[in-house]
Structure 1
Amino acid sequence: MSEKFKTEPEDLEATVSHSSGFSRFASLFGGTNVWVGPRIAPLPAYLKNDVSEGEESSEAILNRQLASEDGTSIQYRTCSWQKTAALLFSEYICLAIMSFPWSYSVLGLVPGLILTVFVAAVVLYTSLILWEFCLRHPEVRDVCDIGQMLFWGKEWAWWGTAIMFVLNNTFIQALHVLVGAKYLNTMTASDHVGGCRTVVFSVVVTVICLIASLPRTFSMMSKLGTASAFFTFISVLLATIFQAIQKEPAGFSAALGSPIVTALPVKGTSFVNAMGAFLNISYTFIGQITLPSFIAEMRDPREFPKSLWACTIAEIIVFSVVGGVIYAYTGNQYVTAPAFGSLDDVYKKAAFSFMIPTLIFLGCLYASVTARFVFFRVFRNSVHMNSHTVVGWASWFGILLVTWIFAFIISQVIPFFNSLLAVMSSLFDSWFGFIFWGVAYLRMRSVDEKAGRKRNRITAAFSTGVNIFIIIMGVFFLSAGTYASVQSIIDAYDSGSVGGVFSCASNGL
């Protein structure tokens, strides 16, 4: 690396006093002058044997990781901040954007827009906390490492995090199998398809995604992600334009009347519906579960905030404009989730078709993150990790195959878009979006104080209060959110508005 990390200066108090303003600026936007604080956890056992005395700093560990990949066939720490931004765009600029009009119809336009900005700000803040944690512990490769460190190295914490981590990623893969089948059903609505069409289409999408998941480095995935984000942007832009230029939304009837747009929630809006709409918005923003893996493949992880800020600003603009404009033209009566369903047939097929790269890629991205989690632990310090071996590639393929089989099963058991988003948000985002990072902040500030780093009392008290509030938000998501999402699934089945498990009926828009 061309610049050295600022780790553990000899006169910590003097350094912080002299450059606290600059350090705060760097802690927001990154760069070579970022101050990296002390670790909260000791070196893991597998590193202790390889690190000599005086080489335990974050800088030394990162440099060893970079040096270990020199001359190898497969190199992982290759991403620039621009490539990482492409990965973030591909993760966040996704199909879930098309659930925003429905969320705004439930919450009301004004609360919907306020919550959009609020959730974006909270996620940006917690992502910066996550990044700071990863700088202090450069050996971290995924959120499971962090989970164990945060809860005092307990083995149960690692296993609990690992289970949620794999389930979260597999649910997201399932969402893309579900919507892939929805797309194929939409495009072939007038055609006769033999057999159990929705299940067959789901199998086709699963196989395609399995093949597309095979690249083993994020550098390669970022190239695919750039194309995915571009086509997704075109898709939602076309959907927004088409909604504005068509005479009436799809399904228009004189009985229902012209689209009704409300600034506030309509009278009688249930807690279950309101919570589901809020969870839909939150799910689209919350993606911290993948960030440790992205940061672990950056050549200079100090540059990560640049990627984060670029993506967050784009998210707020795109989500608010798309959600607000489409809702304005569909109103409470004609809005659908995803919102392609409120377009006339030709417009719907044209706009939805540009979503194909994202339908495939984003599920592949999460499958790749899960495969890394397993693969790096099985083959750590092995020739199979950095070389093209039969065992390495066979194992990589086998891991991906298992995750996609489970994704296919989940897509057939919870075969509806909004409720699947809500379940994932309440069960997993409560931890990976809020609780983990509030705890991480408190743990890092505690070791900073022990190391002699002084902070303004008012600022320290305010920051502590904010992070306690973030933890409480996570608990609310986990409790009330899970109740609302499960109840919405029960209500959907009771009303007969969705097909049954492994249904053959078309799920097209």
Structure 2
Amino acid sequence: MAPTSQPLPAGEQRGSLDSSVDSNALEKAAKKEPAAGVTQNEFDVYGNEETADIKYRTMVWWKAAALMLAETVSLGILSIPSVFATLGMVAGCILVIGLGAIATATGYMIGLFKLRYPHVHNMADAGMILWGPVGREVLGAAQVIFMVFICGSHVLTGLIAFDTITSGASCSVLWAGVSAIICLVLTIPRTLDGISYLSVASFISILAAVFITMIGVGVAGHQGGVTVTANLSFASGFLAVTDIIFAYAGHVGFFTFIAEMRKPEDFSKALYCLQVADTTLYLVVGIVVYAFAGPNTVSPALGNTGTTLRKIAYGMALPTIMIAGVINGHVCAKLVFIRIFRRNGVKSRHMTTHSWVGWLTWIGICFAIWTMAFIIAEVIPFFNDLLGVISALFASWFTYGISGIFWFHLTWSRRTTEPLNILFLY
């Protein structure tokens, strides 16, 4: 195909992209300049918001970073100490650092893909560009299922937290229901900007909880020896690695976060803040808790202390358990909501106005998501097993696999003229 200087219309597919075309497209995308033959509604998922009642593109980069931290660190950090206990100290550190570095690169590629195609709001839109209608349906369904399972893991963790705090004063079904209802109520705001402030509280919450846990295991002293390496079965090693993958599995919501930023080109700032913070926290918490708890390390990590400190830690962690689940539920609901009210690049007024149809649809979608999450939490009532199922089915693909395809899509035509491009992301 002959190179052209015009960016592609929304939804058009092409397997190659000239380097000059790529640069021009990224520049135009960053400046919000519509390309020839592309309407404004096709060019941006929310269209012109000047007269909109509900404005979505309001987040600055640090709010996006807060959302990403709350979404990613919340449950992922709770499984890391048990990963170190399974794999050994050396392998645990290598995998946390290595997979974190790769997650940074793949997240950066998602940002580039979004700038190249500003109308992309979710993985379904990306699938439409890569493989047409079939790709849209496959990636869209996979994203919805993945995020519903993540919501289920938050309901399960909420159940564990309430049960621990109350010393089993009531049945698990009740606490799962309470967790799901709280998350449902907090998911109702229609924009991520409103949830971003809750994300700050969520991050402080998980920090306080893990610090209490580290202090608790430190006071209790060493409970057993620490292994540098480990002899383990394929199944246990595989489950441990998938737990680390889940700890970096925030990429599935990146397109939606960027779509609601004032300046999408600032996404890299938020990404670097996320990756530095989560990799550092995973290393510190994993090493400290495992060093003191030894082979008796349990998951979630907050259970490694005595009864009193365990209750305090879970009490401090409740905000992050709920709010991080809300972020995932919101992104999932937004995908379905946009799919309903955006047709062929043209948005419905119900997306940006306080109409009864818009609000009832939004609340109905949120209710369905958290109902399914409640059912999943009751069906798979084991924390590590649920994380392993989610990671094996979806997390590794969305966090590490799909970005490689984005890279090939953006740079395919340069493979012969610039062979060294295979070594670089951009």
Q: TM-score, normalised by structure 2?
A: 0.88
For the structure 1 residues 13 and 391, does the alpha-carbon distance in structure 2 shift closer, same or farther, using more than 3 Å as the test?
Answer: closer
Q: Residue 353 of structure 2 aligns with which residue? A: 387
Contact 1:140–1:292 under 8 Å retained in 2:
yes
Which is higher, the Rg of structure 1 or of structure 2? 1
Q: Residue 226 of structure 2 aligns with which residue? A: 261
For the structure 1 residues 107 and 390, does the alpha-carbon distance in structure 2 shift closer, same or farther, using more than 3 Å as the test?
Answer: same
Contact 1:368–1:400 under 8 Å retained in 2:
yes
Contact 1:179–1:359 under 8 Å retained in 2:
yes
Structure 1: gaps spanning 5 or more residues: 1-5, 24-33, 40-50, 249-257, 468-509
Give me the whole-angstrom Cα distance separating, in 2, the residues matched to 1:274 and 1:95: 19
Aligned-partner residue type, residue 306 of structure 2? D
- Find the residue that maps to 1:354 and give its secondary structure: helix
Q: Does 2:69 match 1:106?
A: no
Q: Stretches of 4+ moved more than 6 A in 1? A: 12-16, 60-67
Q: TM-score, normalised by structure 1?
A: 0.75
Q: Provide, for residues 279-332 of structure 1, a one-character-per-residue CA deviation record: whole Å limited to 9, x for no partner.
A: 101111122110000011111111100000011011111110001000000001
Contact 1:147–1:436 under 8 Å retained in 2:
no
Contact 2:28–2:34 under 8 Å retained in 1:
no
Q: Does 2:60 match 1:80?
A: yes
Aligned-partner residue type, residue 209 of structure 1? C
- Find the residue that maps to 1:216 and give its secondary structure: coil
What pairs with 1:291-330 in structure 2 (closer than 5 Å)?
A: 291-330=254-293
What pairs with 1:194-343 in structure 2 (closer than 5 Å)?
A: 197-247=171-221, 258-265=223-230, 267=231, 269-332=232-295, 334-343=296-305
Aligned-partner residue type, residue 363 of structure 1? G
Q: Does 2:142 match 1:164?
A: yes
Aligned-partner residue type, residue 438 of structure 1? G
Q: Residue 132 of structure 1 aligns with which residue? A: 112
Q: 2:166 aligns with which of 188, 194, 198?
A: 188
Give me the whole-angstrom Cα distance separating, in 2, the residues matched to 1:389 and 1:168: 30
Q: Provide, for residues 450-507 of structure 1, a one-character-per-residue CA deviation record: whole Å limited to 9, x for no partner.
A: 9xxx64x3x224349xx9xxxxxxxxxxxxxxxxxxxxxxxxxxxxxxxxxxxxxxxx
Q: 1:364 aligns with which of 326, 329, 351?
A: 326
Contact 1:7–1:36 under 8 Å retained in 2:
no
Aligned-residue offset at 1:73: 1.3
Give me the whole-angstrom Cα distance separating, in 2, the residues matched to 1:157 and 1:67: 24
Give me the whole-angstrom Cα distance separating, in 2, the residues matched to 1:295 and 1:208: 26
Contact 2:338–2:351 under 8 Å retained in 1:
yes
Aligned-residue offset at 1:89: 1.1
Q: Provide, for residues 145-179 of structure 1, a one-character-per-residue CA deviation record: whole Å limited to 9, x for no partner.
A: 1122122x1x2221111221111000011001111
Q: Does 2:103 match 1:123?
A: yes
Contact 1:98–1:323 under 8 Å retained in 2:
no
Higher RCO (CA-CA < 8 Å; seq separation 6+): 2
For the structure 1 residues 419 and 401, does the alpha-carbon distance in structure 2 shift closer, same or farther, using more than 3 Å as the test?
Answer: same
Give me the whole-angstrom Cα distance separating, in 1, the residues matched to 2:307 and 2:237: 29
Give me the whole-angstrom Cα distance separating, in 2, the residues matched to 1:55 and 1:205: 48
Q: Does 2:403 match 1:437?
A: yes
Aligned-residue offset at 1:66: 7.4
Q: Does 2:140 match 1:177?
A: no
Aligned-partner residue type, residue 318 of structure 1? L
For the structure 1 residues 150 and 185, does the alpha-carbon distance in structure 2 shift closer, same or farther, using more than 3 Å as the test?
Answer: same
Q: Provide, for residues 380-421 of structure 1, a one-character-per-residue CA deviation record: whole Å limited to 9, x for no partner.
A: 322211111111111111001111111111111111000111
For the structure 1 residues 345 and 52, does the alpha-carbon distance in structure 2 shift closer, same or farther, using more than 3 Å as the test?
Answer: closer
RMSD: 2.8
Q: 1:373 aligns with which of 314, 327, 335?
A: 335
Contact 2:249–2:396 under 8 Å retained in 1:
no
Structure 2: gaps spanning 5 or more residues: 8-16
Give me the whole-angstrom Cα distance separating, in 2, the residues matched to 1:148 and 1:63: 15
Q: Does 2:374 match 1:420?
A: no
Q: Residue 475 of structure 1 aligns with which residue? A: none
Give me the whole-angstrom Cα distance separating, in 2, the residues matched to 1:338 and 1:351: 11
Q: Residue 14 of structure 2 aligns with which residue? A: none
Give me the whole-angstrom Cα distance separating, in 2, the residues matched to 1:135 and 1:150: 15
Give me the whole-angstrom Cα distance separating, in 1, the residues matched to 2:162 and 2:268: 38
For the structure 1 residues 447 and 174, does the alpha-carbon distance in structure 2 shift closer, same or farther, using more than 3 Å as the test?
Answer: same
Contact 2:258–2:264 under 8 Å retained in 1:
yes
- The percentage of counterpart residues that share the same residue type is 32
Q: Provide, for residues 244-274 of structure 1, a one-character-per-residue CA deviation record: whole Å limited to 9, x for no partner.
A: 12246xxxxxxxxx41100111x3x111001
Count of paired positions: 406
Contact 1:38–1:448 under 8 Å retained in 2:
no
Contact 2:164–2:314 under 8 Å retained in 1:
no
Contact 2:209–2:302 under 8 Å retained in 1:
no
Aligned-partner residue type, residue 159 of structure 2? A
Contact 1:337–1:417 under 8 Å retained in 2:
yes
Aligned-partner residue type, residue 320 of structure 2? T
Q: Residue 54 of structure 1 aligns with which residue? A: 36
For the structure 1 residues 297 and 359, does the alpha-carbon distance in structure 2 shift closer, same or farther, using more than 3 Å as the test?
Answer: same
- Find the residue that maps to 1:73 and give its secondary structure: coil
Contact 1:7–1:37 under 8 Å retained in 2:
no
Aligned-partner residue type, residue 285 of structure 1? Y
Contact 1:78–1:298 under 8 Å retained in 2:
yes
For the structure 1 residues 445 and 348, does the alpha-carbon distance in structure 2 shift closer, same or farther, using more than 3 Å as the test?
Answer: same
